[in-house]
């Protein structure tokens, strides 16, 4: 959007931009956003509660918040998160799995293809959200021809949501 005048309010323009990106979120496997940005920051963004009050580093940028609300399955990461091995692994795992899901949909999600997809990602799902595994396996195990499009959509939503969960931390080895 660019800001030549720092006093100019770009809230509406930023909200419109986020809405446009959310409409096209299916085109992306994930997004890396600028850390601390008033528009794109995912955490600790300095927000001014009201005119004249000092900013407090407690918020989420408008673009990031809107995108997260409108496209909750889209993996998002702040650039500095990629410096942390666990967060980097989490984000990249989500991105690659989302891309494989999109490829499955493009190829045509038949029951056999979904079964192979699920088998490939079973342990990844188990690591991130064990409680989702049973429901996902039920969708794979019992394809219903008349309801198949709804089952595929349900599987996709639950799969993406399951991968967004943080896997449990492994205890430190005892030595």
DSSP symbols for 84-135 = SHHHHHHHHHHHHHHHHHHHHHHH---HHHHHHHHHHHHHHHHHH-HHHHHH
User: Is-contact 61 39, C-beta < 8 A?
Assistant: yes
pLDDT of residue 133: 94
- Euclidean distance between CA atoms 74 and 144, whole angstroms: 28
Of 3-12, 62-71, 84-93, 100-109, least confident by mean pLDDT is: 3-12
pLDDT of residue 1: 54
User: pLDDT (tens digit, 9 = 90+) per residue, 78-123?
Assistant: 999 999 999 999 899 999 999 999 999 999 999 999 999 999 999 9
Per-residue pLDDT averaged across 124-135, rounded? 92
Per-residue pLDDT averaged across 130-140, rounded? 93
pLDDT of residue 73: 83
């Amino acid at each position: 959007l660019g800001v030549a005048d720092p006093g100019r309010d770009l809230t509406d323009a930023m909200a419109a931009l986020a809405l446009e990106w959310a409409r096209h979120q299916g085109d992306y496997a994930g997004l890396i956003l600028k850390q601390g940005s008033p528009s794109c920051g995912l955490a600790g963004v300095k927000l001014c509660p009201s005119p004249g009050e000092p900013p407090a580093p407690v918020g989420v940028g408008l673009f990031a918040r809107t995108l997260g609300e409108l496209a909750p399955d889209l993996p998002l990461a702040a650039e500095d998160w990629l410096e942390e091995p666990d967060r980097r692994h989490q984000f990249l795992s989500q991105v690659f799995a989302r891309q494989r899901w999109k490829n499955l949909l493009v190829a045509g999600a038949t029951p056999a293809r979904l079964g192979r997809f699920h088998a490939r990602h079973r342990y990844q799902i188990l690591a991130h959200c064990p409680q989702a595994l049973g429901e996902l396996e039920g969708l794979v195990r019992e394809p219903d021809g008349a309801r198949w499009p709804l089952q595929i959509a349900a599987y996709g939503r639950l799969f993406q949501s399951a991968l967004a969960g943080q896997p449990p931390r492994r205890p430190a080895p005892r030595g």
